[in-house]
Amino acid sequence: MAAADVGIPEDIRDLVKGAVSGMHQFVDSEVLPMEQQMGQVLVDERKFFDERGRAVQEIIDAKRQVRMKSARAGYYAMFAPESVGGDGLGVRSMVFVEEALYRRYGPGRPLITWAKGFLTQPTIASFVDGPSHMLVSVSDSVRKDYLPAISAGEKMVCFALSEADAGSDVWGINTRAKRDGDDWVINGSKQWITNSPYADYAVVFAITNDDLMAERKGGISAFFVETAADGYTFDGVLPVMGHQGGDCGSMSFDNLRVPADRLIGVQDQGFQIAMLGISEGRISISANCIGMCGYALDRSLEYAQQRMSFGKPISEYQAIQFMLADMAIDIFTMKYMVLQTAALVETFPQTGRLPVKEISIAKAYAVEKTQECYDRAIQVHGGMGLTNEMPLNEGFRVARTLRIPDGTGEIQRRTIARQMLRGDTVF
């Protein structure tokens, strides 16, 4: 937080200050020692991933330990609703806390490779791995039998929506679920599913009404699925840019039977649940971007004042100063854009207006400016910026990947334009 954080209620400031301080203490005392002990396993591709592109068991076990320790300390599920085992803290608080986490432990630390999901990342749950607003509408049996382990960090979920021919176009999915007695039978496949190589459960979206689907008025339902169930097959890891493995994968369903009470929410209305998860993800990514850019700027300021060229620090050259200033301009704009959007999300229960346009604006701006920010940071560092000794290149790759999930920049712009054409022109 900074002195310029005006307009935020005192209780939010106090809450955030305590959460940030606690998170930093937790990471420093519990997580960083684990990273030090694991050493080269975290940075050596040959040791981090197995021959299938999946993180080795040592990494999986370590991340699970971090999740469970964070849950016991009160951080893992602090932004999840109380009804799913969380603390129900607000969206603005989440923005501040995630910014602080990613700024202090940002991509570029010597022992860290962010795109693999290093040990600091699991300290806060998201809709693609843990308790979230997406699980509010599960049945009582699922809430009783499964949510406690998820909220405790012992078990994980994944968000199974995208398919080979249906990424940005949700209405293009082909996976289907048909009612058969007391069960639903699911057939189809999913692709590019974050956390799927490691998830214990999946929230699977499938067509349950072809007529509504054809009219784009519904027809998609969400189901809570155990990944160990008969008929569920994990088809393999999809390596991410620059790495031998990753956290995304593909799965298929062959007459997968799930009990009727595994339906999440209302039948044929799963699209709303999907968009709830995606909207939550867009705000979270935007908050992460603020912290990532702050980290890159911090490193650039330090380097520019230390690096000598032609007898003086490069920070005295206007070309370097302009790059540093542009980074600051983008961070300031990004931060207050995201905070304003978060404030609008928090008023949704009272106003009934979900700020769809603003969420898309914030996500598109944040991820694109983050890539520009890391490009400038590498430029400030010169040749050193390209090396693994100061691996800002990893942050650049992470920034590039963030322009794809939860809606590409093009999809965000389409959403923004459509909302305005429908009359939503208030800013």
Q: Average of pLDDT values for 296-324?
A: 96
User: Model confidence over 73-107: pLDDT tens digits?
Assistant: 999 999 999 999 999 999 999 999 999 998 988 65
Q: For position 34, what pLDDT does the model report?
A: 87
Residue 162 has pLDDT above 70, yes or no: yes
The angle, 0 to 180 degrees and rounded to 10, between the axes of the packed helices 91-104 and 270-306 is: 40
pLDDT > 70? residue 114: no
Residue 14 is predicted with a pLDDT of: 87
Place of tokens 């300031």: 332
Q: Is the pTM of this model over 0.85?
A: yes
User: In Å, how far are 149, 274, 280, 334 from 187, measured between CA atoms?
Assistant: 27, 19, 28, 42
Best CA proximity match to 65, nearest among 193, 152, 157, 169: 152
Contact 26, 78 (CB under 8 A): no
Q: Is 323 left (phi over 0), alpha (psi -120 to 50) or beta?
A: alpha
pLDDT band at 46 (very low <50, low <70, confident <90, very high): confident
| 285 token code pair | 């990514």
> Pick from 120, 111, 8: which is nearest to 394 by CA?
111
φ, ψ for residue 41, nearest 5 deg: -60, -30
With a cut of 70, say whether residue 2 has pLDDT above it.
no
Rounded distance between C-alpha atoms, residue 309 and residue 384, angstroms: 14
Mean pLDDT, range 189-206, rounded to an integer: 97
Residue 170 pLDDT: 86
Q: How many CB atoms lie within 10 A of CB 134?
A: 26
Count of Cβ atoms closer than 10 Å to residue 101 Cβ: 23
The per-residue pLDDT for range 254-299, each reduced to its tens digit, is: 999 999 999 999 999 999 899 888 888 999 999 999 999 999 999 9
In Å, what is the CA distance from 358 to each residue of 48, 317, 327, 334?
Answer: 38, 37, 22, 12
HSE, CB side, 13 Å, CA atoms: give it for residue 280.
Answer: 23
The one-letter code for the residue type at 227 is T
Q: At what angle do helices 91-104 and 10-26 cross, to 10 degrees?
A: 40
DSSP code of residue 265: S
Paired tokens of 370:
């983050």
Complete domains list, the chain, with CATH:
140-146+155-270 (2.40.110.10)
**In the prediction, which pLDDT does 241 show?**
81
Question: Distance between CA atoms of 179 and 236, rounded to whole angstroms?
Answer: 28
Task: Name the DSSP letter for residue 384.
Answer: G
167 pLDDT more than 90: no
